[in-house]
Amino acid sequence: MVVSIALYGISTVFYLSYLFLNKDKLQKFGYYLLLAGFLCHSTTIGYGFIKAGHLPVENLHQTLSFAGWALAGMFLVLRYRYHIKVLGIYAVPLITLTMIMAYQLPAENAAAKTATLFKSIWLISHVSIIFVGEAAFALACGLGVLYILQENAIKRKHLGFFYKRLPALELLDNTGYVCIMIGFTLLTLGLITGFVYAKTVWGNFWSWDPKEVWSGIAWLLYAALLHGRLALGWRGRKAAIMSIIGFAVLLFTFLGVNLFLKGHHGEFTLM
């Protein structure tokens, strides 16, 4: 993990330098360093899977690490497909911060857990799909922030710092929409596999667990955003703001609910 964090951190330096100096070679160095960090990180997670015999999400340390891995992978795919280089100024620091937070937490959980809780194909499917979907939502949030910055620059007719560095509004808006579509599809599949897993472990598809409730709220919020875009023509600034709000709800669902509210999912964030 240390090597991955170091590579992510150096990549962050290059991407932030790219933001201020606007030299393409800087983001290229950042991109390749991020790719190297992702490959090292993938090796770490793969080793953890083989060693434990299940997905390494036993505690908050491992869960945050998996979240950082999913975000790095999703950004690399999006960067390759849509060539939005400047998105790295948001994504890479977020990845690095997530990994530093994970590193600061205990790697081993003091509480003993039953192997059957984690050794389930439904858990592997649920966690993997949910985290990749949330990574897509995180990037949609970043694209929303960049959209607002670019729009403000254009409205002020002060075509300065951000205008020269950010893509066209249409590209930001359309790519954000793609991220929302991917995230919503995966969130839906993740909830379905989660329901099945809950039935096999706790005996009920739905038990009004706080995590379930807030996940449902997040699903409804993104469903409303997609409906508004397709049926009501919500685009641009309104969609960007909704993306930011939606990701804030997801962050609370991921961290806030597990840390401050009791429920089944607290098993996965014990420290």
- Domains in the chain: boundaries: 1-115, 120-271
- Pick the residue with more confidence: 156 or 102? 102
pTM above 0.85, yes or no: yes
Query: Of residues 200 and 119, which shows the higher confidence score?
Result: 200
The predicted model gives 101-117 an average pLDDT of 68
Q: How far apart are CA 176 and CA 246, in angstroms?
A: 13
Tokens representing 117 are 């809780």
Contacts with 163 (C-beta within 8 Å, 6 or more apart), sequence order:
150, 153, 154
Query: Could you report the per-residue pLDDT of 8-58, keeping only the tens digit for each?
Result: 999 999 999 999 998 999 999 999 999 999 999 999 999 988 887 778 887
Tally Cβ neighbours within 10 Å of residue 28: 13
Per-residue pLDDT, 268 = 52
- Say what the pLDDT of residue 116 is: 57
Task: Look up tokens 């023509």; give the residue.
Answer: 233
Average pLDDT for 64-92: 94
Residue 73's nearest CA partner among 46, 92, 51, 89 is: 92
Q: What backbone phi and psi angles, to 5 degrees, belong to 159?
A: -80, 75
Per-residue confidence (pLDDT) for residue 199, from 0 to 100 = 78
Does pLDDT of 260 surpass 80? no
Give the burial string for 100-131 (b: 16+ CB within 10 Å, else e).
ebbeeeeeebeeeeeeeebebebbbbbbbbbb
CA distances from 119 to 24, 162, 269 (A): 45, 48, 17
Which range in 73-77, 102-106, 109-113 is most confidently predicted, on average pLDDT? 73-77
Distance CA 150, CA 166 (A): 7
Mean pLDDT (the chain) is 86
The pLDDT-based confidence of 111 (bands split at 50, 70, 90) is very low
DSSP state of 156: T
Rounded distance, CA 84 to CA 134, Å? 19
pLDDT of 171-228, one tens digit each?
Answer: 999 999 999 999 999 999 999 988 888 777 767 766 777 788 888 899 999 999 999 9
What is the Cα–Cα distance from 177 to 182, expressed in whole angstroms?
Answer: 9
Which residue did the predictor score with more confidence, 165 or 115? Answer: 165
Encoded tokens for 211: 């995590």
